[in-house]
Amino acid sequence: MTSHVLADTCVLTGRSLRHILRSPDTIITTAVIPIALMLLFTYVFGGAIDTGDGQSYINYLLPGILLITIASGISYTAYRLFLDLQSGIVDRFQSMPIARSSVLWGHALTSLASNMVSVGIVISVALILGFRTSASPGSWIVIVGVLLLSTLTLTWVAIIAGLAAKTVDGASALSYPLIFLPFISSAFVPIATMPGPIAWFAENQPVTSIVDTIRALFAQQSIGSDIWIALIWLIGILVVAYALAIVLYNRKTTSA
């Protein structure tokens, strides 16, 4: 049974990846907004921002930009899933002897692959802009792991949007609040500079712990409890989002 699910998921993931390979502009578009923000903050606002830790602003900025890259990319997952539902291809899949969950996992794994390419592009541009890191191979493994888990978690949130949306615009609009969330965190400025209520929200929302973890790993500093808080947030949201997505998918395909 397990091998059957894995085989079906691999086939459907390959199908989704071929769609991206035929239109690589989606990956480029995903990277454009984060790169534009990185250029804006580095060269326009960066000189006026004191991070208080002595590191260059591009080093301080990059972790938040990477999360914005992921948030921008997962909107395409919701979009592609919505189109599959509207075109009737999902109904056709349901009439075939394949694992039901493989349809959603195909989109999820495609999102992981495409978003990691976008993240790689953004990091490459950051290196050109002056980003430098002393992260060890072990730290890089943890950084990639956190980014993968963040992508997977947000992807399943996007899958909910794709299943629940009534229009293409509705499916794609999910990324807007997720892109905005890092701005109310430690991603761009230290939380200590924010007014009380905003600082409280920034301190207690998931983006801050994720950003602080990645930033500390890049700088080879102690990550303290940030990584555990980040993992609790990410795994908790992932479990809830996955469960809701499966319920919505079953209702959608059963009613169809």
Residue, of 38 and 84, whose pLDDT is higher: 38
Q: Give the pLDDT score at 224.
A: 85
Neighbours of 143 (CB within 10 A): 20
Q: Give the pLDDT score at 134.
A: 87
- Token code pair at residue 185: 């965190």
Which DSSP string corresponds to 127-162?
HHHT------HHHHHHHHHHHHHHHHHHHHHHHHHH
Which DSSP string corresponds to 17-83?
HHHHHH-THHHHHHHHHHHHHHHHIIIIIGGG---SSSS-HHHHHHHHHHHHHHHHHHHHHHHHHHH
In this predicted structure, the answer to whether residue 253 has a pLDDT above a threshold of 90 is: no
- Check if the beta carbon of residue 74 is closer than 8 Å to that of residue 154: yes
CA atoms within 13 A on the CB side of 24: 4
How many Å is the Cα radius of gyration of the chain? 19
Neighbours of 54 (CB within 10 A): 7
Q: Give the mean pLDDT of the chain.
A: 85
Please give the C-alpha separations between residue 242 and each of 47, 135, 237, 248, in angstroms, as whole numbers: 42, 32, 8, 10
Residues 197-227 have pLDDT tens digits of 999 999 999 999 999 999 999 988 888 889 9
- Token code pair at residue 148: 């993968």
Mean pLDDT to the nearest integer, 72-87: 83
Q: Give the pLDDT score at 119.
A: 94
What sign does the dihedral 133-72-7-15 (CA atoms) show?
A: negative
